């Protein structure tokens, strides 16, 4: 993985390469590559999750990781934990789409001796600390530059 500390920052990096059609393969250092695609309706072959699904997976995956981390630190024993994220995209123009909102349900099963108040405290802390959730809510600036590579003839 390429997530690393640089001073007081965590820095991550990935590379996505076109695989033909609308498919891309994303690599994360030496980690397992991720193939993303679109359904046939959007000129894909449906061979992998869509970028929107990967974004939803980031939200729900971070929720599970953050909640589990907080519960472990507080000594709250969990027997089950999952998060189901559902996003809705709206049209922004002739072919454009934007994810309008995301709804998520976290299913938590604590050990029988854990008071519900402790689980609720973990949930409140998750709401404040989950880096993916709080970053998206704050509106992450995305700066993109173009490196046009032209062959000289």
Beta strands, E only, 66-136? 78-91, 97-110
Check residue 150 and give its pLDDT.
84
- 72, 66 in Cβ contact below 8 A? no
**Can you list the residues of the chain whose pLDDT is less than 50?**
none
- 135, 68 in Cβ contact below 8 A? no
Check residue 127 and give its pLDDT.
97
Residues 38 and 53: their CA atoms lie apart, in Å, by 10
Residues 119 and 74: their CA atoms lie apart, in Å, by 10
DSSP lists the bridge partners of residue 87 as 102
pTM: 0.90
Token readout for 136 is 């998206």
């Amino acid at each position: 993985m390429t997530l690393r500390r640089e001073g007081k920052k965590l820095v991550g990096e990935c590379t996505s390469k076109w695989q033909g059609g609308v498919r891309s393969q994303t690599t994360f250092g030496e980690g397992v590559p991720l193939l993303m695609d679109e359904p046939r309706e959007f000129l894909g072959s449906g061979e992998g999750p869509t970028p929107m699904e990967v974004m939803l997976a980031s939200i729900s995956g971070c929720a599970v990781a953050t909640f589990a981390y907080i519960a472990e630190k507080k000594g709250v024993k969990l027997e089950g934990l999952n998060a189901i994220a559902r996003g809705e995209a709206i049209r922004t123009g002739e072919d454009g789409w934007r994810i309008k909102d995301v709804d998520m349900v976290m299913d938590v099963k604590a050990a029988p001796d854990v008071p519900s108040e402790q689980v609720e405290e973990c949930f409140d802390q998750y709401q404040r600390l989950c880096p993916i959730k709080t970053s998206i809510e704050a509106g992450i600036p995305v700066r993109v530059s173009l490196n046009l590579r032209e062959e000289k003839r």
